[in-house]
Amino acid sequence: MPLTISILDLPDMQKFSSKSADKLLEVLSETENIELFNSASIRAIVEMKWPLVKQAMTKYLLIPYLVFLFSFIYYTLYLFETLQEDNSKEDLGWDIKNP
């Protein structure tokens, strides 16, 4: 069984804090040429950088969204109903439509 090894030597690509690697990923994310991702070298770069991207997406996008979502659900299902019940019990002496 033959063994084939391919080496892609891109300087600073393996470092997670490399500006050139970040620029390459930014350009790849903005490209409209989907055929570019058929290249084995581009797929290898994306797979190598994916753990960092996944961590950043979770930290900066998913967690704030979940906090917002659960806060909104809590407000709409509990707080809003409670505030409406409290306001209906009190007679404020004026009508919202006709102050």
| End-to-end Cα distance, the chain | 88
Is 73 among the domain residues? yes
Round the average pLDDT of the chain to a whole number and report it. 81
Overall number of domains in the chain? 1
Give 55-85 pLDDT, tens digit per residue: 888 999 999 999 999 999 988 888 877 777 7
In-domain check, residue 63: yes
Q: 27 lies in a domain? A: no
pLDDT for 15-56, tens place per residue? Answer: 767 788 888 888 988 999 999 989 988 888 888 878 877 888
**48 within some domain:** yes
Domain assignment of residue 47, given as a range = 35-88
CA 14 centroid distance within chain: 23
Q: What percent of the chain has pLDDT over 90?
A: 22
Here the tokens at position 61 are 């996008």
Domain assignment present for residue 15? The answer is no
Is 2 a domain residue? no
Domain membership of residue 7 (yes or no) is: no
Q: Indicate whether 30 belongs to any domain.
A: no
Alpha-carbon distance of 20 to 27, in angstroms, equals: 11
